[in-house]
Amino acid sequence: NVYFEIGEFNKALENFQQSYNIIKIIYAEKQNHPDIARSLNNIAMVYTYKGEYENAFNYYQQSYDMLKI
């Protein structure tokens, strides 16, 4: 995400959240698809850089839970 690379974290977060919503629709039948987990991880990464660690942890946890199968 270009916004993330240039430090525009709010715009990056918005784009990653939009991407996550689209990915959830695409993989509606596969709730644990790696692309969904990757999207959650991207959101968590932005929250980490913004210093919002509790939000970041929640998204990292969701991502981890999907991939630990």
Q: pLDDT by residue (tens digit) across 10-65?
A: 999 999 999 999 999 999 988 889 999 999 999 999 999 999 999 999 999 999 99
7 secondary structure, DSSP code? T
| Inter-CA distances, 14 with 19, 30, 57, 62, Å | 9, 24, 18, 18
**Per-residue pLDDT at 31:** 81
CA 35 → CA 9, 27, 52, 55, distances in Å? 21, 9, 23, 20
Q: What is the pLDDT of residue 42?
A: 97
**Residue 30 has what pLDDT?**
86
- What is the end-to-end Cα distance of the chain in Å, rounded? 28
pTM: 0.92
Half-sphere exposure of residue 59: CA atoms within 13 angstroms, side-chain side: 21
